Amino acid sequence: DGSDRLQINAQNCVHCKTCDIKDPLQNIVWVTPQGGGGPNYPNM
């Protein structure tokens, strides 16, 4: 159909939040992972 789309592959996610920042329509609501996984954002 020629329209733009954003495809996210969850298995490749490194919790960098780029998808939330680059989403032009702001369809993604990004939250830190449960259980303490992912980068230590407060100490970066």
Residue 44 scores a pLDDT above 80: no
Q: How far apart are the first and last CA of the chain?
A: 41
For the chain, the domain total comes to: 1
pTM above 0.75, yes or no: no
* Token pair in block for residue 35: 């259980």
Percent of the chain with pLDDT over 90: 0
Query: Does 43 reside within a domain?
Result: no
Q: How many residues does the chain have?
A: 44
Query: Does 18 reside within a domain?
Result: yes
Query: Does 26 reside within a domain?
Result: yes
Query: Does 8 reside within a domain?
Result: yes
Q: What is the pLDDT of residues 17-38, one digit of tens each?
A: 887 787 778 888 777 767 766 6
Q: Any idea of the CA torsion for 33, 17, 30, 37, to the nearest 10 degrees?
A: 0
Residue linked to tokens 């702001």: 26
Residue span of the structural domain in which 3 resides: 1-34
Query: Does 5 reside within a domain?
Result: yes
Query: Does 27 reside within a domain?
Result: yes
What mean pLDDT, rounded, does the chain reach? Answer: 75
